[in-house]
Structure 1
Amino acid sequence: MTRPVAIVTGAGSGIGAAIAKRLSDRYDLIISHLNDDADLQDVLTTVEQRGAAAVAVLGDLTDPATIDTLAREVQESTDRLEVLVSNAGAYPRIAWNALDLDSFREQIEINLVTHAACAKLVTPALTARLYGRIVAVSSVLTQLGRVDLAAYIAAKSGLEGLVRALARELGPYDVTVNCVRAGSIEVPAEHAVVADHEAMVTRQLDRQCVQRRGQPDDVAAAADFLASHDAGFITGQCLTVDGGWCLT
């Protein structure tokens, strides 16, 4: 039987990789990732072992050439496309006093405009099909704030606004638009950017109700649900996956 197709951006590692692997039980995949590296090859091997066909689109989604390549893959899969999980992003830590406007604009481009671009790509196919799911990955920091991440938080806050606006726009076509608001999720990259990792873990667990680190699979489970038929009456929402860090 022919499988439907899901797109997962930023799917080569961390949260995106976990989402792609989970969705591969039901969907063939279009996976975007920055580089053709060992992480991407691991994802492709895993999803193919689960029976999914997978196509990789390489490159930076802020580059129009990468968006054009993704658009061609969308066109090839128009009749089967059902899901977009828009996850790609970056979060360089820059103090507000050191943040210039060019860097601020770059973060808006990476963490907001690319999500809008991907949503624009899939909208014609989903509305024509009269069915679809768009899921964006946001951050609990939109609710909490944090030093050194002003541009990232501003972009993610805009993303959550975009989700609500698109829920209104696309709801009449039975296309739902939601986001997963991720908390502190343990990924390999954090070991390189946190000086005293053990102390950071202790501080984080003190903030949470659930006394363990969040894992990429925790976010993937939420994205998988919002991408499913079972979530058809849920739209314009942010599902917070943070172990009870932000109780609002």
Structure 2
Amino acid sequence: MDFSKKFSLEGKIALVTGASYGIGFAIASAYAEAGATIVFNDIKQELVDNGIAAYKEAGITAHGYVCDVTNEDQVNAMVAQIEKEVGVIDILVNNAGIIKRIPMIEMTAAEFRQVIDVDLNAPFIMAKAVIPSMIKKGHGKIINICSMMSELGRETVSAYAAAKGGLKMLTKNIASEYGEFNIQCNGIGPGYIATPQTAPLREDGHPFNNFIISKTPAARWGEPEDLAGPSVFLASDASDFVNGHILYVDGGILAYIGKQPK
């Protein structure tokens, strides 16, 4: 057996939501390198255009669509258009997400609902849209981008933690409900990743930078590329008997109680 073929995504169509930049872009780029055809969406045409340009610069031909993943009608229309123009989606990565860092007692119910809508309801809507065609095709991979906040709490992220905790359980339930159709649904829980959004926090001497490094056994921030191998594994035939699992790519944070104060 050519073992490397188990990890190939040749001939597969992968939809990564919100993948114009950042973690989603890194995952989609890894899929392209493994042979997949890349489809992504974003909420604005400008972001889609920027994403297509970034993929082109990386030597990747990507198909971009404007879609609000919290809008079920838009999602259904996008999935139908992708099936018509590109093909049936083999791999769905629910990457699009938001976070609002607001103390709980200062957060409005509307702000809480917005985070839940994007980070939890949208993955439900997306999965619901692609599963019927996966059932017909006889296979499918759904990967939900969870978080360490699927397991831990932290100040100012009550809505995000609630959503990501819920996404962990949605992952397990999709695996339970549709595993018999050869559909695997797993999650990836990134640790603290070095992206343009986290650049201000990673400056030398910044208290948060020191905090993260001290809490991470790897003693560094993760790079977007650190997610490539786990993402390809969970999208490939190599993970066909892995279902309902959350793979934390966090440098060991969740395994570590932290250093004893001196």
Does TM-score exceed 0.5, indicating one fold? Answer: yes
Give the one of 148, 159, 163 matched to 2:156.
Answer: 148
Distance (Å, rounded) in 2 between the aligned partners of 1:201 and 1:195: 7
Distance 1:13 1:145, change over 3 A: same
Distance (Å, rounded) in 2 between the aligned partners of 1:190 and 1:157: 22
User: How much is the aligned-residue C-alpha RMSD, in angstroms?
Assistant: 2.3
Distance (Å, rounded) in 2 between the aligned partners of 1:105 and 1:163: 20
- Gaps in structure 1 of 5+ consecutive residues: none
Deviation (angstroms), 1:199 = 2.6
Distance (Å, rounded) in 1 between the aligned partners of 2:40 and 2:87: 18
1:118 aligns with 2:126: yes
Q: Which residue of 1 aligns with 2:139?
A: 131
Give the one of 214, 220, 224 matched to 1:216.
Answer: 224
Match of 2:151, SS state, is: helix
Match of 1:24, SS state, is: helix
Match of 1:213, SS state, is: coil
Residue identity opposite 1:200 in structure 2: F
Give CA-to-partner distance per residue, 1:110-168, whole Å, 9 cap, x none: 10010011101110111111111110100012212111100011011111100000101
Give CA-to-partner distance per residue, 1:47-76, whole Å, 9 cap, x none: 6x24xx421012432234542442223432
Match of 1:233, SS state, is: coil
How many pairs does the alignment contain? 244
Distance (Å, rounded) in 1 between the aligned partners of 2:23 and 2:205: 19
Q: Which is higher, the Rg of structure 1 or of structure 2?
A: 2
Distance 1:93 1:194, change over 3 A: farther
Give the one of 94, 104, 109 matched to 2:102.
Answer: 94
Give CA-to-partner distance per residue, 1:162-198, whole Å, 9 cap, x none: 0000101111111100000111111111235789873
Distance (Å, rounded) in 1 between the aligned partners of 2:111 and 2:89: 34
Work out whether residues 193 and 221 of structure 2, in 8 Å CA contact, stay in contact via their aligned partners in 1.
yes
Segment drifting more, 170-179 vs 182-191: 182-191
Distance (Å, rounded) in 2 between the aligned partners of 1:197 and 1:7: 39
Deviation (angstroms), 1:34 = 2.7
Work out whether residues 21 and 46 of structure 1, in 8 Å CA contact, stay in contact via their aligned partners in 2.
no
Distance 1:86 1:97, change over 3 A: same
Q: Which residue of 2 aligns with 1:165?
A: 173
Distance 1:8 1:231, change over 3 A: same
Work out whether residues 150 and 167 of structure 2, in 8 Å CA contact, stay in contact via their aligned partners in 1.
no
Match of 2:15, SS state, is: strand
Work out whether residues 181 and 241 of structure 1, in 8 Å CA contact, stay in contact via their aligned partners in 2.
yes
Give the one of 28, 39, 42 matched to 1:30.
Answer: 39
Deviation (angstroms), 1:102 = 1.2
* 1:166-205 aligned within 5 A: 166-191=174-199, 198-205=206-213
